[in-house]
Amino acid sequence: MKILHINCSDSGSTGKIISDISRYVYSKGGASVLCAPKITDNNNEQILKKYAVCLHHEQGVYGRFSYISGIPYGFAPISTHKILNVIKLEKPDIVHLHSINVNMVNVYKLLNFLKKQNIRTVVTNHAEFLYTGNCAYSEECENWKKGCGNCPMLKKATGSNFFDKTKASFKKMEKAFKGFKDLRIVSVSPWSNDRAKLSPIMDNYKHYIIENGINTNVFNAEDYSCFDNKKREKIILYVTSYFTNSPLSVKGGEYFIELARRFEKDNIKFVVAAGTSNINIALPDNILLLGNISNQSELATWYKKADLTVLTSKRETFGMAVAESLCCGTPVVGFKCGGSESIAVKDFTEFVEFGDIDALENTIRSEWLDFKENNNITEISLIARKKYDSDIMAEKYYKLYTESE
């Protein structure tokens, strides 16, 4: 059996998920291939063969055309041609689509090709764009349930300021998805599964929930005893792909900054691990920016050091920081954002209404700052690791791959 994955990256959260799935498939005698815009690591080619499909700046050029046209997923001619050629060359049994919303492929053309060639296809909704037809995160808007149009968040949804073509792009996505003989839809949380089934784009197919998995050999509570939490300042950790104070960001960085300001007189350090940052204001002195942490063991160490992990996103389909933190024995407090509260271990997490910074501050002060000192960290980690282990996730995908129609 050969699986061909298409994704926005060979690294990061979705890149790691694909690697974990590929290792499991390899252990069962199968093969895996990945098409991504660029390749950052070509090790273990025997387990996961990789193809780079975009030239330098190619996605940026395609993005500009998409912004002008108002159709976000219908361009990328050169990279789409490369991807289709890889599929023809590799002849996979299954094509697995992940995050393909980064101007790397003409989604409509790809779906029509897979449908015409009668290739079994699996789609994982890491974001919402495939069932909304436009936006990666629909936030409060529910126009996608009836076909879009008159978009209240046009710039954020499509990148375009010129024309509202959200109804047309929804119809294109709906048409591209219709008529598959064998298509399986995977959501990474109960919340996103419920939403995907409501979309006219995906309502006629089988739906599955497979929660994201992490490497619990790295993210665990082992060696926790070396961190003496009682003899130092408290640490509140914030892990995000993008840290900005812009109110337009779905990650809610401005709320984390405000939260830190409210604790400036306390002996607490607010630590940020961010893939990229764009801050144009002076930050409180109690915020420490770590930058991007690509080493997973180093990131796990910070989770273990932390007394609490905070999540301020407006929308998440899953929330990897929740799983990683809990596996390291550290509780999580944050805003309700959809997916995260639906996959969290309830006894070790709490979520308040999005944007209610007063409630967030109060619950941290009253219930969670001393939680690790008063509870069994190993027990928290054990429960979380049984839930989020990447082998469990990979096994579920393998069963899905081998399941008959």
Domains identified in the chain and CATH numbers: 2-213+390-402 (3.40.50.2000), 224-388 (3.40.50.2000)
* Cβ-based neighbours of 341, under 8 Å, separated by 6 or more: 191, 349, 351
The model's pTM is 0.94
How far, rounded to the nearest angstrom, does the alpha carbon of residue 14 sit from its chain's CA centroid?
A: 7
CA quadruple 55, 37, 50, 132: dihedral sign: negative
Q: Distances in Å between the alpha carbon of 163 and those of 71, 141, 172, 306? A: 9, 18, 16, 46
C-alpha–C-alpha distance, residues 148 and 171, integer Å: 9
Q: Are 313 and 250 in contact (CB under 8 A)?
A: yes
Per-residue pLDDT tens, the chain, 405 aa: give them. 999 999 999 998 999 999 999 999 999 999 999 999 999 987 788 999 999 999 989 999 999 888 888 899 999 999 999 999 999 999 999 999 999 999 999 999 999 999 999 999 999 999 999 999 999 999 999 999 999 999 999 988 888 777 899 999 999 999 999 999 999 999 999 999 999 999 999 999 999 999 999 999 999 998 766 555 555 799 999 999 999 999 989 999 999 999 999 999 999 999 999 989 999 999 999 999 999 998 999 999 999 999 999 999 999 999 999 999 999 999 999 999 999 999 999 999 999 999 999 999 999 999 999 999 999 999 999 999 999 999 999 999 999 999 986
134 Ramachandran zone, left/alpha/beta (phi>0; psi -120 to 50): alpha
Sole residue written with tokens 């912004």: 67
Print burial letters for 266-276: b (CB count within 10 Å at least 16), e (below 16).
Answer: eebbbbbbbee
CB atoms within 10 A of CB 261: 14
Closest CA to 61 of 39, 79, 83, 85: 79
The 3-class secondary structure across 327-342, one letter per residue, is HCCCCEEEECCEHHHH
Looking at the DSSP bridge assignments, the partners of residue 35 are 6, 51
